[in-house]
Structures are given as C-alpha cells and as structure tokens.
Amino acid sequence: MIKECLYCKSKEVVKRGYFEAKAHGKRQRYFCKSCGKRFIEKDAFYRMRNTPQKITLCLDLFYKGVSTRKIQEHLQAFYPHNSSNVSIYSWIIKYSEMISKFTDKIKLGISSEVQIDEVEYHRRKSHKHKGIEENWFIDSICPRTKFMVASSYFKARGQEEIKQIVKAIKSRVENDIFTITTDGLQAYPKVIKSVFGYSKSEKKFNTFHNVVNASKGEGFNHPIERLHNTIRARTKIMRGFHGSLESANAIMKGFEIYYNFINKHQAINRSPYELATDLKLTRENKWLELIKLSKT
C-alpha cells in the first residue's frame, strides 16, 4: 500500500481503480486527495514496455555469453513483440547499476585472506571513431568462498585506483583481513599500508601484504587467476566495450553480480554468496529477485 503521494508527498492517498498494461498486467491505481493526481507505484520496471521475465532473460543470456544481437534473434523466434539490441544493451546497463547499489552494501563474512589483481583491456574510445584506450579491470576475491569482494573498471592502475578497491574491501568485510595477496606491482604496498594502518602497540602493520611475483618463479595466485580466465572467456567477444568508461564499468558490475549470485561455482558446488553472505535467494529467477530487493 502506498503511504504517500509520489508528487506532493501528502498522506491523503486512497485506492482508485486499476491500471492495466500489456507488459505488467493489472496494477493498483492510487488517488491523492491533496493534489488530485492519480498514479501507480513506481517499481523497478516502471514504464518499461517489456515484461520483467523478458528483461531478466536477456540479462541472464548476456552474462552466459550470448551477444545482444544474438539475444535479439532469440526474441524474434520466441516473443511476438521483439526488442532491439540497443534496448537489450540499455537493460544490461540499467539493471546492473541498480542491483550493484544493493549488493555492494552487503556485509561479507569471508576468510582472513583476500587476493587482488588486474586485467588489462583495450577499449575503443568511441563506436563512431577509431582509437584504442588502455584500461584496467581491478578486482579482488576471497580464496575460500570464491566471492568477488570488490571490483571496478578504470582508465589506469595507479595508487588512486587500487586505493578505491582496497577501501571497498575494508568497508565490506565484517571480520579482520590478516592477509592481502597481490602480484609485484609497486602501487600495492603503500596503498595497503595506508588503508589498513599500523598498530603502535604491536609495532607492525595491521595486515600482512603477501607478494607473489610470477615473473620471479614464485608461483601464481590461483583463485584469482582462475577468476580472470572466466572473465576473459566472457569479455573477449565484447569487441572492446565499444562505448564509454561508465558503460564498461556497468557491464563488469553486472558480471560481478552474475558470478557472485547467479552462477554456480564448480569448486564449491554453489553460488559464492551462499558462503559469504546471509542473503537468502529463494526464486529460480535470481535476477528478478535481486532487482526487487534493490528497490525495497
């Protein structure tokens, strides 16, 4: 039940009939006695001309590896009212950003170690003009739960960019992080020390920085390298993210959601969120459930 008017915020709101749309069926309509306006509740699919099931189907197909044009062909075969590949792309951006605002606030109960690494990408500056820009996807993972703790798509991989990821890790994790494992990139030590701090009583830094340099024969950080293989398998057919840095980041945020909450990880035989969070998703269509949770 709506408690206040969407326009004037008055509490004098009563039910006044129904509004029916092809995509969403019959919806309760409300009337405001103060300003005289009628309205329906604004949910996550307000003014969308396609059903929630159809939209979330497209999200799922995209992150399973199907291109937007191939999804469009699928819709032509199975749905009478088709959507363009441009519409599908806009859904991916819109709902990836919407869900990530909810999932990024979930507190995590993970192991005491987090691994951080980067993936290099060459993004076209514009789909209309030639020119390649070197970008970086910086991410982190818990080796035990396989949960991708924090990630973002950046123009560079300097101290400022890495600091955003390390700060996000610290804010999200409920327990103490005792070890952060990285490669030999020189930007890591100063950032990790500045974010997690130094203990004067114990006369040591609060977090141990474990450096594994593969070029020196020190091995590999296998959990995060395995994650990067999965990421590359999906992104190698995206043709350089033809678009803005913001849209590239939204797409990668959507992949983070897919990896953590939708896909079942083979090593743990479940989705990572089941081990790392208290969140309970009960529906088969987890995309739809996450979208609704993000609007509550």
- Read off the CATH number of the domain in which 32 is found: 2.20.25
Same domain, 130 and 218: yes
SS (H, E, C) the chain: CCCCCCCCCCCCEEEEEEEEECCCEEEEEEEECCCCCEEECCCCCCCCCCCHHHHHHHHHHHHCCCCHHHHHHHHHHHCCCCCCHHHHHHHHHHHHHHHHHHHCCCCECCCCEEEEEEEEEEEECCCCCCCEEEEEEEEEECCCCCCEEEEEEECCCCHHHHHHHHHHHHHHECCCCCEEEECCCCCHHHHHHHHHCEECCCCEECCEEEECCHHHCCCCCHHHHHHHHHHHHHHCCCHHHCCCHHHHHHHHHHHHHHHHHHCCECCCCECCHHHHCCCCCCCCCHHHHHHHHHCC
22 Cβ contact partners less than 8 Å away, ≥ 6 residues apart: none
**Quick check: 140 and 164 in contact, CB under 8 A?**
no
pLDDT, tens digit (0-9, with 9 covering 90-100), for 187-229: 999 999 999 987 777 777 889 999 998 777 777 889 999 999 9
Place of tokens 């913001």: 246
pLDDT digit string, tens, across residues 127-176: 677 778 899 999 999 999 999 999 999 999 999 999 999 999 999 998 78
Q: Name the residue range of residue 2's domain.
A: 1-42
Same domain, 152 and 204: yes
Could you tell me the CATH number of the domain that includes residue 196?
A: 3.30.420.10
118 shares its domain with 260: yes
Report the candidate in 193, 195, 229 with the shortest Cα–Cα distance to residue 211: 193
- Considering the domain architecture, whether residues 37 and 53 belong to the same structural domain is answered as no
The single-letter code of the amino acid at 164 is Q
Same domain, 36 and 178: no
The pLDDT value recorded for residue 92 is 95
Provide the CA 194 distance to its chain's centre, in angstroms.
Answer: 26
Residue that has been written with the tokens 């819709």 in this structure: 75
66/16 same-domain check: no
Residue 174 and residue 215 in one domain: yes
In this prediction, residue 255 carries a pLDDT of 96
**How far apart, in Å, are the Cα atoms of 52 and each of 45, 58, 83, 246?**
7, 10, 13, 24
Residues 137 and 268 in one domain: yes
Q: How confident is the model at residue 239 (pLDDT cuts 50, 70, 90)?
A: low
Determine the Cα–Cα distance for residues 145 and 142; give it in Å rounded to an integer.
Answer: 6
How far is it, in rounded angstroms, from Cα 38 to Cα 31? 4
Q: What is the pLDDT of residues 57-115, one digit of tens each?
A: 999 999 999 999 999 999 988 887 777 899 999 999 999 999 999 999 999 999 999 99
Beta bridge partners of 210: 181
CB 168 within 8 A of CB 139: no
155 shares a domain with 263: yes
Tokens matching residue 189: 């030590």
Q: Are residues 285 and 271 in the same domain?
A: no
pLDDT at 1 (0 to 100): 64
Residue 172 · residue 149 · CB < 8 Å: yes
What total of structural domains would you count in the chain?
3
Co-location of 29 and 174 in the same domain:
no
Residues 266 and 122 reside in one and the same domain:
yes
